[in-house]
Amino acid sequence: MPHRYRRADRVDELLKQEIARVVREDVKDPRVGFTTVMDVASSRDLRHARVYISVMGGAEEKEATLDALRSASGFVRSRVGQSITLKYLPELHFELDRTLERAARIEAILDESRPAEPADE
């Protein structure tokens, strides 16, 4: 039976686990607070990978964490490369995961478009 997932999907999941471990255990920058690696999306040629993170805190904390991880991307890539063996390890590009914000916005739009329920008297 052939594999149902393309290679990039398997690589993305492996990268996600290892990047999360490195960020949690090895990155010592104080700007990196409560950070969760939500997803990794590699390019088709596996040369670049977008790492989507979620950060607890306000906008300033999120931007500070993102700046810290972007500056540490070479270190993170090096540590990940020590743990997994790939012919070529993708260059890492950190971005904030906006899924929850988008979901809240969609929910608010849906709430506004629904007819108001009559008040019980």
Print pLDDT tens along the chain (121 aa): 455 567 778 889 999 999 999 999 999 988 888 899 999 999 888 899 999 999 988 889 999 999 999 999 999 999 999 988 888 899 999 999 888 777 778 888 888 887 767 666 5
Report helix, strand or coil for 116. coil
Please state, in angstroms and rounded to a whole number, the distance separating the CA atoms of residues 45 and 39: 18
The rounded distance, in Å, linking the Cα atoms of 41 and 114 is 35
Supply the pLDDT for residue 1: 44
Q: How far apart are the first and last CA of the chain?
A: 63
Domains and CATH numbers, the chain: 7-113 (3.30.300.20)
Residues 94, 67: Cα–Cα separation, whole Å: 9
Question: What is the pTM assigned to this prediction?
Answer: 0.78
